[in-house]
Amino acid sequence: MSSDEIIRDIRKTIEEKTPFAGSVTKIEFEGPKVVIYCDDLDPLVGNGKPVKKLAREIQKRITLRPDSSIRLPVGKAKEKIKEIVPDEAQVTGINFIPTVGEVYIETVKPGLAIGKGGQLLRKILKEIRWTPKIIRKPPIESEIINDIRRSVIETAEERHEILREIGSRIHRETRAEDEWVRVTSLGGSREVGRSAHLLQTPESKVLLDCGVNVAADDKSAFPYLNAPEMRLGEIDAVVITHAHLDHSGFAPYLFKYGYDGPVYTTKPTRDLSVLLQLDYVDIARNEAKELPYTKKNVQEFVKHTVPLEYGDVTDITPDMRLTLHNSGHILGSALAHLHIGEGRYNIVYTGDLKFEDSRLLSAAEHDFPRLEALIMDSTYGGSDAIQPSREDSENDFLDIVKGTLKEGGKVLVPAFAVGRAQEMMLLLEDAYSSGELEDLTVHLDGMIWEATSIHTAYPEYLSDDLQNKILHQENNPFLSDIFNQVKSREERERIVSGGSSVILSTAGMMAGGPILEYFRRLAPGSKNSLIFVGYQSEGSMGRRLQKGWREVPMRDDSGKRNVVQVNMDINTVEGFSAHSDRKQLVDFVKRSSPKPGKILCVHGEEGRCIDLCSSLHKMFNMRTRAPDNLETIRLY
């Protein structure tokens, strides 16, 4: 059936089975959704039962919208909104999208604009006959979020066209008669970096992740997009599990070469990806390297993103349904559950996985409606890759901080901007508010502030405890007075020559960024400490210091090479990883419900992928494989 025929069928079902057929003015596909426009408000503000019944009947996500003929003029509608939404909600922006009849209301306190059980939303809809969408104004201003939101509004018409096109492709006439499912590794197998896996059926091609290996300087930085089965024009959809560049960093490149299909991901992943992709482009430019893509391609990535929430079941091709679930790794990170051919075959691709609660996030989801094959993270798949307990790690970290501050020294923590920095912020804030650390100032430098502000825009993705603090107790730890955003070079100077403090700064492996300035100035002081809380790759400055280098050649402000004497205390505290260790990986498979019959181990050094693969086979008697890049494995 073609998409037009499907729409005709839906219209018929509406006529036969719902009471609101008379008010339907238009039905169209908008990406995976069916949008029904009505010139009567009843179906939109009623109890929703007929719509739910219809959604079950046609097995699609349905959105009802008021037809343009009944909408209040923009000026009047705006006044009404201001009347209805209480001042305490603090509205910061109202933007109308005429193409689809929606109005975005940005507010500091979304809960107060929504009202109890959505009461105010219904009232707004009734009065103005535009669909209100409430968005949270992050309490910490975010340039990235402002830019993305502005572009979503400015490009609404174009996005609508893109979504309609995507919609008709999802609901196209199917032609396949065979049944099979296979997956080809285009990158990130038996290695970490450039994750990309092509999932194919006779009907569809879906790309799972599209990353870069930022540590590589040659072609091995990019996935094998030139593999024979990888024809850009035939790709139905791209799914991005999370924002780290080894999963999202090459996605804008697809748009440079003519891909014009959807990218499915969560909103926080979209925003954090943009932050990291733009930084990646900037660094390449500063190092005078060939740019893999431009900012314009990043904008295309945003324009083609179809944001999904955890648990949304979405048709992405004629024979695949996608559901994203929390993967516990970083803000917005997801496991992708793919339901193929009316449920004949079900796959979970974990992306990066953390199967343990952290301060920031809840542990990964492990319960699925159906599951036949698992494609899983093997970063710490080796039997030796066991991390110390989080509690021990936290105590070790705080002991070093306490000791150093007491001596009047400064603590320097190189941290990845997304995830690790916020985890350390939460630990320090907790230690401060419980009285364990006194007189604490934590300076945040590099991209950390911007990444933190994106965290504050999406509290519903954070751990239950943190969410509860932010939403119900008005106690947002990220807004604590102990944190200071470093805004200038001069301020860095003042911090270095000032009293004791903790400094969290990028880059996490000391490959560049403000951390180097701090290090150069603080390294000679024997009262100061440096604490590594994240992985340091071979060849990085961080790894050299871990190995005990005490004289490090570095460039000074004027570009001259000098030897820096390292007298500061160099520490490494393990256990803060956002990846599952070996025990947690095995635990995840053990507790996965239902049990998969097949497992592919990817995303890990070769030895670790193979170790995990053979161990899981022995433990659970499942068919397991550790594919190589470019290898294709038939799953069904």
Binding interface with Zn ion (CB under 5 A):
244, 352
Record the tokens describing residue 286, joined without a space. Answer: 């500063």
CB of 242 to Zn ion, least distance (A): 6
Task: From 241, 247, 230, 155, select the one nearest 193 (Cα to Cα).
Answer: 247
CB of 589 to Zn ion, least distance (A): 19
Locate the DSSP E strands across 60-111. 62-66, 91-97, 102-107
Give 555's contacts (C-beta < 8 A, 6+ positions apart).
561, 562
Max intra-chain CA distance, the chain: 81
Q: Of 310 and 636, which has the nearer Cβ to Zn ion?
A: 310
Beta-bridged to residue 345, according to DSSP, are 340
The C-alpha atoms of residue 461 and residue 458 are separated, in whole angstroms, by: 6
Q: Of 131 and 378, which has the nearer Cβ to Zn ion?
A: 378
Q: Of 315 and 352, which has the nearer Cβ to Zn ion?
A: 352
| φ and ψ at residue 180, rounded to 5 degrees | -160, 160
CB of 377 to Zn ion, least distance (A): 9
CB of 516 to Zn ion, least distance (A): 24
CB of 603 to Zn ion, least distance (A): 9
> What are 386-390's contacts with CB under 8 Å, separation 24+?
386/581, 386/582, 386/583, 387/574, 387/575, 387/577, 387/581, 388/574, 388/575, 389/575, 390/356, 390/358, 390/575, 390/576
Q: Of 107 and 269, which has the nearer Cβ to Zn ion?
A: 269
Q: Of 352 and 569, which has the nearer Cβ to Zn ion?
A: 352
- Cβ contact 10:59 at 8 Å: no
Burial class (CB in 10 A: 0-12, 13-18, 19+), 19: exposed
Q: Of 423 and 429, which has the nearer Cβ to Zn ion?
A: 423
- Cβ contact 412:505 at 8 Å: yes
Q: Of 244 and 359, which has the nearer Cβ to Zn ion?
A: 244
Ordered DSSP codes for 223-237: --TTSTT--GGG--E
CB of 329 to Zn ion, least distance (A): 6
CB of 511 to Zn ion, least distance (A): 17
DSSP alpha helices (H): ranges in 180-322? 245-248, 251-256, 267-286, 295-303
The C-alpha atoms of residue 491 and residue 266 are separated, in whole angstroms, by: 36
Q: Of 409 and 419, which has the nearer Cβ to Zn ion?
A: 419
CB of 334 to Zn ion, least distance (A): 11
Q: Of 352 and 581, which has the nearer Cβ to Zn ion?
A: 352
CB of 586 to Zn ion, least distance (A): 20
- Cβ contact 171:59 at 8 Å: no
- For Zn ion, which residue has the nearest CB? 244
Q: Of 334 and 442, which has the nearer Cβ to Zn ion?
A: 334
CB of 264 to Zn ion, least distance (A): 18
Ordered DSSP codes for 22-40: GGEEEEEEETTEEEEEESS
Record the tokens describing residue 580, joined without a space. Answer: 């599952």
- Provide the 8-state DSSP code for 218: S
